Amino acid sequence: MSLSPAEEQLMQLLWKKKKAFMKELLDMFPAPKPASTTVATLLKRMQDKEFVGYTQVGRARQYFPLVKKTDYFSNHVNGLIKHFFNDSAGQFASFFTQETNLSEKELEHLKTIIDQQLKNKRS
C-alpha cells in the first residue's frame, strides 16, 4: 500500500516528530498551510491504511507512525526496481550511476558501501 503525495508529505512530518498532535503537525507545514479539516482527513485515510496510529490524550489525539520510514522507502525502491528495471538491481544501479551525474567521490562512496555489503554477505 502506498501514500498519496499529500499523505506522504504529512507522513514525513510525523516521522520527523515521532509523536504529534494535529496542531503541531499543522504548525510544521510550510506556508500556505492546509486547512485543519484537510489534515484531519489525511490522518484518517492514513489510519485506514495502517500507516498512522494515535493515543487519546484528553479530548485530543496524539498521532504516531506505525510504519518506519526505512521500511516505506525500501518498499518503494523495490517496487521501482521491479516495475521499471525488470526486477534487475543491476539495471537499476547502471541507470542510477549513469543518469544522476554522481561525482567521483560519490561513486567511490557507493563502491565502498557495496564492498562492505559483499564482505558482510561472505562472512
CA–chain centroid gap for 7, Å, is 11
**Where a domain ends, among 17, 42, 65?**
65
Q: In the chain, where does DSSP find H-type helix?
A: 5-17, 22-28, 36-48, 69-84, 89-99, 104-122
Q: Are residues 43 and 16 in the same domain?
A: yes
What are 102's three cell numbers?
A: 554522481
CATH of residue 49's domain is: 1.10.10.10
The string of pLDDT tens digits covering residues 57-106 is 999 999 999 999 999 999 888 888 998 899 998 898 888 888 888 899 99
pTM: predicted TM-score of the whole model, two decimal places: 0.76
Residue 40 has pLDDT above 80, yes or no: yes
Q: Are residues 76 and 117 in the same domain?
A: yes
The string of pLDDT tens digits covering residues 96-114 is 888 888 899 999 998 899 9
Question: Contact, 25 vs 38, CB < 8 A?
Answer: no
Burial of 56 (0-12, 13-18, 19+ CB in 10 A): exposed
Domain count, the chain: 2
> What percent of the chain clears pLDDT 70, i.e. is strictly above it?
100
Q: Are residues 105 and 118 in the same domain?
A: yes
